[in-house]
């Protein structure tokens, strides 16, 4: 569950004021809106990557407003995947586990498990330069999910993909939700994608969040 209470934030020339948002536990909520409407800034605020001027942010039953991104238990998948060019797929999947000092055998088992259901087993030793767009996004998803975060934040993760790969990654996202029951906050411009994956669609318009976005 994600709750934003009266959140105000400033990003460059625009501001979002007194935003209220409630994302139910286990739901896939899609946030739509025009470019520059502040969707990514809001997502960054949830992840702890952007300071808010006022208001409170809660994840689950915890107030995380003052917590660091590391402590919030949020997985982030940006538009371009933002893979680490010097690491292999295996190292990406293990990254959060190494940082969080998981026991090696437990971390290895988690990497094998993730690679299995994300279809990455055969490419564990490849680096990002050798991955297709779909593979790269699956690696980014696996990296974000490895340490069992409570919330997954997706920032237009399918926008750079062709139609076929987009369908493939959509299936992966649906599978992730089915397997983990994770709460997903998903930003997209694509109405079809939103209707296919989201069980709630919100629109960020004129600095306000509205329910049930009309067709774009």
- Of 48 and 55, the one with the shorter C-beta distance to other proteins is 48
Whether the CB-CB separation of 165 and 132 falls below 8 Å is answered with: yes
Q: Let me know: does 204 contact 196? Beta carbons within 8 Å.
A: no
The span of 26-34, 55-63, 94-102, 193-201 binding other proteins (CB under 8 A) equals 94-102
- Which DSSP helix (H) or strand (E) runs through 3? strand 2-11
CA gap 82, 63 in Å, rounded: 28
86: how many CB neighbours lie within 10 A of its CB? Answer: 8
- Contacts to other proteins from residues 12-51, by CB under 8 A: 44, 47-49
Measured distance CA(102)–CA(77) in Å, rounded: 22
Q: Given the complex with other proteins, which of 100 and 179 has the nearer CB atom? A: 100
One symbol per residue from 99 to 118: x for binding other proteins (CB under 8 A), - otherwise; what is it? Answer: xx------------------
Largest CA distance in the chain: 50
From 33, 55, 75, 134, residue interacting with other proteins (rule: CB under 8 A): 75
**x/- map, 128-157, other proteins, by CB under 8 A:** ---------------xx-xx----------
Does 208 contact other proteins by CB under 8 A?
A: no
| Using rule CB under 8 A, residue 159 touches other proteins | no
Which is nearest to 3 in space by CA: 26, 25, 21? 21
Interface residue list for other proteins (CB under 8 A) = 44, 47-49, 68-70, 72, 74-76, 78, 80, 82-86, 95-96, 99-100, 143-144, 146-147
């Amino acid at each position: 569950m994600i709750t934003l209470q009266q959140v105000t934030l400033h990003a460059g020339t625009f501001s979002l004021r007194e935003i209220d948002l409630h994302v139910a536990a286990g739901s896939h909520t899609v946030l739509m809106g025009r470019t520059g409407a502040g969707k990514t800034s809001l997502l960054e605020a949830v992840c702890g990557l952007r300071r808010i001027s006022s208001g409170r942010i809660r994840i689950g039953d915890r107030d995380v407003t003052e917590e660091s991104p590391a402590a919030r238990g949020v997985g982030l998948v940006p538009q371009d995947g933002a893979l680490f060019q010097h690491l292999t797929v295996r190292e990406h999947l293990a990254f959060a586990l190494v940082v969080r000092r998981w026991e090696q055998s437990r971390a290895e088992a988690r990497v094998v498990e993730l690679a299995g259901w994300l279809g990455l087993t055969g490419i564990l030793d490849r680096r990002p330069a050798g991955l297709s767009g779909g593979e790269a996004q699956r690696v980014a998803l696996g990296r974000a999910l490895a340490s069992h975060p409570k919330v997954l934040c997706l920032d237009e993760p399918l926008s750079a993909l062709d139609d076929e790969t987009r369908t493939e990654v959509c299936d992966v996202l649906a599978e992730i939700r089915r397997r983990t029951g994770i709460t997903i906050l998903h930003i997209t411009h694509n109405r079809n994608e939103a209707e296919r994956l989201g069980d709630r669609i919100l629109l960020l318009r004129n600095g306000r969040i509205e329910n049930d976005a009309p067709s774009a």
